[in-house]
Amino acid sequence: MLEELIKASRTQKQALSSALLYSPSEVSKYLSGQRLPSPASIQEMADRCAVFFAEAFWINGFGEGFDTLFPMLVPFRDRQELEDLLRMALLNAYRISSQAAAGSLAQRAGSDTLLTGWPDIVRTLTLNMSEAAQGKQSLDSYYTLDVYTSLLERRSLPLPTSWWGGSVNINILVSPITALDELNLNKLQLLLEHWISDKARYELRFFEGPQVYVQPAVFVPESFTLQMLASVPGLPAGAFFRSARYLMEYELYNLTRHTKPISFSSREALQAMLQNQEKAMEMLAGCEAIFAFDSVSFFLSEREMDMVPGDAQNKQLVLDALTILRNLPIPMVVSYDAVGYFSNTGRAIIPMLGLLELDALKSVTYMQSYNTLLAQEKHATVYATRRTFARATFLLLKDYLLIMMPLSSEAEQKFLLLPRSMCGYLVNELKSILQSEAALLSDELWGHFLRHLPNMRRDKDLRS
């Protein structure tokens, strides 16, 4: 550890020995493994080393070798956080070295321990995830949703560094009986933006848990499990386990819970609908409301569907699904941002199929489909809202809240099917937008928009 830190901090061994107030020969013995510091002196030595290396990294940046030690990191808010992480890393390395010298490496000291407070929990997660990722190209990790969102909110989620080059498969367990206030729009927006932002470095997959209480936890197979315990507000406690016997038993238990996926790619969602068309259409027929914060096409005609890539069977399936939704007597809340995006680009997302791109005149024809919709006996009632949100569309179904969002490209979509039983607070917030932050889209406003759309698009093209 010391050798790698010296190299990564671009410092000299002489500078370290001066900082430690040890002779160069004494430090050389530590580096070569000939001698270990005494148990009585290790805390002071770790403190001085942490201060020394944190200052060097803060001034010089992270050099070669740092990625080997810490492939998973949390953004450092200040030098003190870096210093605290290095201190814990050095103490852990010393314990392992001491056990190796005593011939008891298999019985790692502190393998099972109690953690108190977020700083202690985050540092422990960071160091042990880094250890698990060392020498690997991919890492599997498992979280319960409550722990994952808590770490996200605190900007304390260990994620792969850009210099590591590996990827992390993050499996998130969603409990149907989570407290109703556990998930709200702010937390969901943070989660969706995180999911969309950097999918090349990590892949998120969601699973619906069993209809029983699930202990909040983090788990990395063959490395560790952290189970969050009940604690006073603001001071969480966690039981941290690394013993091989416990990890083996916990892995079997953990895998039995991650058996019902509720997140899907476009291809997976389309395949699921093809295999269960009757059930899928029945679910859509029970839709109670739509909230579109993205430019999703609900007014697509057969002629426009011909412009979208895909085979005839898939196109017809999606067209049938969209027809069911727009013919339901339900509210459809569309954000001004979504309408503005379409007016500026002519791009509309076709669920599970890709992207529809229209010029200005064809955009007007497409949006005139709304007038045709109003002439029907049964149809969705469209409302407009200035409320902003991450690019996503919500379908409020009987038993689930279906969320669709684009990822790195608009043609690539992800679908998340959250159990409605754990979305009570979230559903109430969406309904509140409809009741207090949305206005019925009048014929006059819609006609005004259609008249000006060609000029808006032409002005944009001229500026380009």
In the sheet that 235-241 helps form, which strands lie side by side, from edge to edge? 113-116, 235-241, 224-232, 217-220, 138-144, 167-174, 202-208
Handedness of CA 68, 74, 77, 81 (dihedral sign): negative
**What angle in degrees, to the nearest 10, is found between the helix axes of 79-101 and 118-133?**
60
Task: Please provide residue 242's backbone torsions phi and psi, each rounded to the nearest 5 degrees.
Answer: -130, 0
Residue-wise pLDDT for 101-144, tens only, equals 776 544 554 468 999 999 999 999 999 999 999 888 899 999 99
Q: Which two tokens stand for residue 464?
A: 């380009």
Q: HSE on the CB side for 441, CA within 13 Å?
A: 24
Q: Which two tokens stand for residue 328?
A: 């339901």
Specify the DSSP class assigned to residue 275.
Answer: H
**What angle in degrees, to the nearest 10, is found between the helix axes of 42-60 and 79-101?**
130
Domain 263-463 fold: Endonuclease; Chain A (3.30.870)
Nearest to 164 by CA among 64, 62, 68, 82: 68
What does the alpha-carbon distance between residue 163 and residue 161 come to, in Å, rounded to a whole number?
A: 5
What does the alpha-carbon distance between residue 432 and residue 428 come to, in Å, rounded to a whole number?
A: 6
Task: Please provide residue 416's backbone torsions phi and psi, each rounded to the nearest 5 degrees.
Answer: -125, 125
- State the pLDDT at residue 462: 41
β strands within 50-98, DSSP E:
72-73
Percentages helix, strand, coil for the chain (3-state, rounded to 5) are 50, 20, 30
Q: Which two tokens stand for residue 279?
A: 């059930």
Nearest to 164 by CA among 62, 77, 76: 62
How many beta carbons lie within 10 A of that of residue 207, not counting itself?
A: 17
205 CB-contact burial (10 Å; exposed 0-12 / middle 13-18 / buried 19+): middle
Q: What is the pTM of this model?
A: 0.89
What does the alpha-carbon distance between residue 271 and residue 273 come to, in Å, rounded to a whole number?
A: 5
Residue type, 202: Y
What does the alpha-carbon distance between residue 237 and residue 226 come to, in Å, rounded to a whole number?
A: 10
421 CB-contact burial (10 Å; exposed 0-12 / middle 13-18 / buried 19+): middle
For residue 93, what are the CA distances in angstroms to 77, 128, 297, 426, 439?
24, 12, 56, 45, 61
Strand partners, 394: 291, 403
Nearest to 421 by CA among 176, 145, 174, 146: 176
What does the alpha-carbon distance between residue 169 and residue 140 come to, in Å, rounded to a whole number?
A: 5
- Ordered DSSP codes for 377-434: SS-PEEEEE----SS-EEEE-SSEEEEEEE-SSTTSEEEEEEEGGG-HHHHHHHHHHH
C-beta separation of 405 from 294 below 8 A = yes
Q: Which two tokens stand for residue 418?
A: 């959250």
Residue ranges of the chain assigned to CATH 3.30.870: 110-261, 263-463
- State the pLDDT at residue 464: 44
Domain 110-261 fold: Endonuclease; Chain A (3.30.870)
Q: Give the chain's length.
A: 464
In which residue ranges of the chain is pLDDT below 50?
Answer: 105-106, 109-110, 461-464
CA angle 264, 266, 267 (to 5 degrees): 95
Instruction: Give the contacts of 210 (CB within 8 A, at least 6 positions apart).
Output: 257
Residue type, 448: H
* Coil, strand or helix at 88: helix
C-beta separation of 289 from 396 below 8 A = yes
How many beta carbons lie within 10 A of that of residue 39, not counting itself?
A: 9
Strand partners, 142: 171, 219
Instruction: Give the contacts of 104 (CB within 8 A, at least 6 positions apart).
Output: none
Residue-wise pLDDT for 168-227, tens only, equals 999 999 988 766 557 899 999 999 988 887 666 788 999 999 888 888 999 999 999 999
